[in-house]
């Protein structure tokens, strides 16, 4: 046997081995989630919790073999709630090969959305941005999995209807809201439902940042609504709770938007907050299996991605919910189309999600090419002095009314 007869097979084996290894390495390309968040200005009451949840979930997924062997990578950047910085963050991460984004800010999301649509990159947009983006036929790359504010408000009305014996004919419902687009968004739906169900709708705008509610609650005391639905943020709930007490309005008739967390409860006072209601699509508390797992796996060993106090906050659960959906979508995408993950396969992955509730963490979502919101289910929870107790099952009501508004709005959208 000549030297060539010995060397060539050896070289071939080596080259083949290397090629296999390279193919495997290519197969195991990291799945990268770009989190361009406001870590320094308006959204700081939620963004650290969501970012920490995403990092914990990525770490947990990687410790358990990744998604079909692909590691998950979470890249966090600050955009300070400035649209231009959000666009810069998007462009920079896009150049680095990221195609899964979340901006967790309505103005920034709205600024980036047309670019992402044009580029064919995925934007996770739960709880922020345009409500009509759940229309998958128009916003094909946008995935606002979770309820829109329109759907949340409609579900709140359905809850009140149930509480009032199934008839809202003689009911009076108050709506206290921050007088800017976030707070104003549900008004049209509420007006439509007021006409449909025959209840009297009373509107109580409060100026930003929600600290001055005295005259609104003076009116509420005099109008005596049966329930007050609240679209106020953070410290605004604390002010509202004090005004409720001062004006003798029962706190168990105050139904808050999902943005009411443990920090607010602590600021109101755990006992003083007893009875307060919250509409949500995410189960609160630390007894939720996935949250429990994070606490036991990481925080009990001092290996969490941040302070444990942030885990004991419903916005951490919200973050886990958002990224559980993202990871489930990636898993389904790889299962269906194999590696490497592409924006197209990820889109298919999202649109294949069916009855997914992240093991009891959130309302079951079914995402379809038509409905990128996943169904819009929420439930109402009540603070009992120490924890949140669900009062209803997950449900989505008045979906016909809500989708009429969604279609009307989305039909006006075009990407230039």
Partner 1 sequence: MDLILLAELAVNGVLTGLLYSLFAIGLVLIYKASSVPNLSQGGLTMAGAYVVLALAHDMGLPLWVAIPLAAVVMFVFGMGIERVALRRLAGRPVVMILMMTLGIDIFLRGTTLAIWGGTSRSVDLGVSYEPLFVGDILVSRIHLLGAAVAILLFVVFVLFFRTRLGIRLRAIADDYMASWSVGISVERGVGLSWGLASIVAVSAGIIWGEIQGVDQSLSLLLLKGLTVAVLGGLDSIFGAVLAGIILGIIENVGSAYLDPFVGGGSRDLIMAAVLILTVMLRPHGLFGRTDIERV
Token code pair at residue 73: 């990578």
Least Å from the CB of residue 184 to partner 1:
8
Whichever of 112 and 260 has its CB closer to partner 1, that residue is: 260
Listed ranges 189-197, 213-221, 340-348, 354-362: which one lies at the site for partner 1 (CB under 8 A): 213-221
Residues from 230 through 259 that contact partner 1 (CB under 8 A)? 234-235, 238-239, 242, 245-248
Angle between helices 187-197 and 149-163 (to 10 degrees): 30
Indicate whether 386 belongs to the interface with partner 1 (CB under 8 A): no
Tell me whether residue 92 or residue 218 sits nearer to partner 1 (CB atom). 218
Instruction: Please write down the long-range contacts of 139-144, taking CB distance under 8 Å and 24 or more positions apart.
Output: 139/113, 139/372, 139/410, 139/413, 140/347, 140/369, 141/116, 141/117, 141/343, 141/347, 142/113, 142/116, 142/117, 142/372, 143/325, 143/329, 143/350, 143/367, 143/372, 144/372, 144/373
Helix (H) or strand (E) holding 26: helix 3-27
Contacts with partner 1 by CB under 8 A: the residue count is 37
Burial grade of 115 (CB within 10 A; 0-12, 13-18, 19 or more):
middle
Site string for partner 1, 60-79 (x = CB under 8 A): --------------------
| Strand residues in 11-151 grouped as ranges (E) | 31-37, 72-78, 100-102, 122-124, 142-143
Interface with partner 1 includes 184 (CB under 8 A)?
yes
**C-beta separation of 77 from 35 below 8 A:** yes
Q: How far is the CB of 376 from partner 1 (least distance, A)?
A: 26
Binding to partner 1 by CB under 8 A, coded x per residue (else -) over 35-64, reads -----xx-xxx--x----------------
Q: How far apart are CB 140 and partner 1 at their closest, in Å?
A: 34
Q: Which residue has the tokens 């449900």?
A: 395
Q: How far is the CB of 41 from partner 1 (least distance, A)?
A: 8
8-state DSSP, 414: -
Q: Which stretch binds partner 1 (CB under 8 A): 133-141, 145-153, 214-222, 364-372?
A: 214-222
List CB contacts of 416: < 8 A, sequence separation 6 or more.
114
Of residues 162 and 242, the one with the C-beta less far from partner 1: 242
Between 41 and 336, name the residue whose CB sits nearer to partner 1: 41
Tell whether residue 198 is a contact of partner 1 (CB under 8 A).
Answer: no
Does 135 contact partner 1 by CB under 8 A?
no
Sign, CA torsion 319/71/90/351: negative
* Interface residues toward partner 1, by CB under 8 A: 40-41, 43-45, 48, 177, 179, 184, 203, 205, 207-212, 214-215, 218-219, 221-222, 234-235, 238-239, 242, 245-248, 263-264, 266-268
């Amino acid at each position: 046997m000549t030297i060539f007869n010995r060397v060539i097979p050896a070289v071939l084996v080596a080259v083949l081995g290397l090629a296999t290894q390279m193919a495997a390495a290519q197969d195991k390309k990291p799945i990268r989630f770009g989190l361009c968040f406001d870590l320094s200005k308006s959204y700081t009451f939620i963004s650290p919790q969501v970012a920490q949840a995403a990092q914990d979930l990525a770490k947990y997924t990687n410790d358990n073999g990744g998604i079909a062997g692909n590691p998950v990578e979470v890249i966090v950047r600050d955009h300070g709630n400035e649209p231009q910085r959000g666009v810069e963050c998007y462009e920079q991460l896009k150049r680095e090969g990221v195609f899964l984004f979340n901006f967790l800010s309505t103005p920034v999301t709205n600024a980036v959305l047309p670019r992402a649509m044009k580029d064919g990159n995925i934007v996770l947009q739960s709880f922020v941005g345009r409500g009509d983006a759940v229309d998958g036929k128009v916003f094909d790359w946008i995935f606002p999995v979770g309820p829109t504010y329109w759907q949340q408000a409609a579900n709140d009305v359905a809850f009140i209807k149930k509480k009032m014996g199934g008839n809202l004919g003689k009911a009076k419902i108050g709506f206290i809201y921050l007088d800017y687009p976030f707070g104003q968004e549900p008004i049209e739906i509420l007006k439509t439902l007021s006409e449909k169900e025959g209840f009297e709708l009373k509107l109580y705008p409060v100026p930003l940042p929600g600290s001055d509610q005295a005259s609104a609650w003076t009116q509420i005391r005099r109008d005596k609504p049966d329930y007050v639905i609240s679209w106020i943020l953070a410290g605004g709930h604390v002010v509202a709770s004090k005004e409720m007490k001062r004006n003798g309005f029962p706190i168990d008739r105050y139904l808050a938007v999902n943005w009411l967390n443990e920090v607010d409860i602590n600021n109101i006072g755990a006992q003083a907050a007893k009875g307060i209601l919250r509409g949500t699509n995410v189960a609160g508390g630390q007894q939720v299996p996935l949250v429990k797992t994070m606490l036991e796996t990481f925080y009990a060993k001092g290996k969490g991605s941040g302070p444990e106090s942030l885990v004991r906050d419903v916005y951490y659960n919200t973050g886990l919910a958002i990224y559980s959906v993202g990871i489930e979508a990636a898993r389904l995408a790889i299962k269906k189309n194999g590696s490497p993950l592409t924006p197209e396969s990820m889109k298919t992955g999202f649109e294949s999600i069916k009855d997914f509730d992240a093991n009891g963490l959130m309302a079951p979502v079914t995402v379809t090419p038509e409905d990128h919101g996943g169904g819009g289910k929420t439930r109402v929870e009540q603070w009992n002095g120490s924890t949140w107790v669900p009062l209803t099952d997950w449900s989505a009501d008045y979906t016909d009314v809500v989708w009429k508004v969604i279609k009307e709005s989305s039909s006006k959208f075009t990407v230039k």
